[in-house]
Amino acid sequence: MKAAALLLAGSMALAACASDEEGGGSASGGGSGGGESAELQIGLAFDTGGRGDRSFNDSAVAGVEAAIEEHGGEVTELSPNADASNRADLLTQLADQGFNPIIAVGFAYSDVIGEVAEQYPDVTFAQVDGAVADAGSPENLTGLLFAEEQGSFLAGVAAALKSETGHIGFVGGVETPLIQKFEAGYVAGAQAVNPQIIIDRQYISPAGDFSGFNDPARGQIVAQGMYDAGADIVYHAAGGSGIGVFQAAAASGGRAIGVDSDQYQTVDPALQSVVMTSMLKRVDNAVQTFIGEFVDGNVAGGADEVYDLESDGVGLATSGGFIDDIQSDIDGYRQQIIDGAITVPTTP
């Protein structure tokens, strides 16, 4: 009987230790509605290029990592296959495995995320660059949108003010309405400074072909043609293909403007000197804010959150100091946009 009692006590002690270990891996705390942060399991479905694109996807990663540092939790990341035909499968896999919230990165998920969200009404979804209406308006989906045209307008201002040839360029990854917003804003900003400026514009791949976001070699060829034609500054909105634009700038003695994240901080140091500035699209802030809202139980759902110049959702990076001398001009245009004196177009 004594042996049995000792055995029972030992078993209870081991069970208690196991229970402590299971709950000890995540930070404590959290708010109501989203569950305690020890249970926070984030699913992240990437756009083409995935982690390591040093641009759009990596900015989403930064937002998730900042949220985890603040609230605790873990993240599982999935990337599309070569032709990106498995986007719905990625979201379904994350939902089946119990991840909540699930964040889809990129407008290309708009065709599938609405149907998946309806199949999992107890899971909270968010889509970067996707409007809820485009996905069928499910109540458990939040769209994280940006005024890319406003930030790109300032990029155009900077390019026109710094160009020595009066000739600049724009390289888009895929010819879609979203990337055309970058083009439209850039052209409008440059022409606001110099109505006679020459602006070359070209896309790496047509609508429906998302390879243009992950083809640095093609990005380099397209940009090189612009530099050879006389452009001295080229702005890219091409995701992972932007590295090729920077390489063309270095080979031509020109300059380039990055996109989404501060690419001066992410490129190979050998290319830093050509990155004049970057149009910041604060995907990191939007993702971090959304996860915080989920933890606090404050996600409204069925609506879009829009990040613009006024909310610092877009802007220009100043790393390297290359635009310090024109900062007052940039600030002037920024304020005019915020005040409504300038309305930036969203189509070319």
pLDDT tens by residue, 296-309? 999 989 999 999 99
Here the CATH number for the domain that contains residue 162 is 3.40.50.2300
Domain contains 83:
yes
Residue 18: pLDDT above 50?
Answer: no
Q: Decide: helix, strand or coil at residue 181.
A: helix
Note whether 124 and 170 are same-domain residues: no
Q: Which residues, in sequence order, are CB contacts of 117 under 8 Å at separation 6+?
A: 123, 125, 135, 138, 140, 141
Q: What's the domain count of the chain? A: 2
Which of 12-16, 28-32, 339-343 is the least confident region?
28-32
Give the residue from 269, 236, 230, 235 showing the smallest Cα distance to 253. 230
Claim to verify: residue 207 and residue 194 sit in the same structural domain: yes
State the pTM of this model: 0.82
CA dist list (Å): 235 to 14, 187, 198, 307: 61, 10, 13, 21
260 Rama class: left (phi>0) / alpha (psi -120 to 50) / beta: left
Amino acid at 42: I
Pair 183, 275 in one domain: yes
- Write out the residue range of the structural domain in which residue 268 sits: 148-281+318-339
* Per-residue model confidence (pLDDT) at position 11: 39
Q: Do 133 and 42 sit in the same domain of this protein?
A: yes
Residues forming a β-bridge with 143: 127, 304
Q: Does residue 182 surpass a pLDDT of 60?
A: yes
Does residue 223 fall inside a structural domain? yes
Instruction: Note whether residue 15 is domain-resident.
Output: no
> Is a pLDDT exceeding 60 seen at residue 2?
no
φ, ψ for residue 176 (rounded to 5)? -130, 165
Using DSSP, state whether 260 is helix, strand or coil.
Answer: strand
Residue range 47-69: mean pLDDT, rounded:
91
Of the listed ranges 25-29, 88-92, 275-279, the one predicted with least confidence: 25-29
Average pLDDT, the chain: 90
| Same domain, yes or no: 112 and 172 | no
Q: Which segment of 19-28, 145-154, 271-280 scores lowest on mean pLDDT?
A: 19-28
Q: Is the pLDDT of residue 83 over 90?
A: no
| Helices and strands counted in the chain (H then E) | 10, 12
Measured CA to CA, the distance from residue 310 to residue 57 in angstroms comes to 24
> Can you give the three-state secondary structure of 91-102, one letter per residue?
HHHHHHCCCECE
Give the full edge-to-edge strand order of the sheet including 41-45: 74-78, 41-45, 102-105, 125-128, 141-146, 303-307
User: Is the same domain home to 52 and 184?
Assistant: no
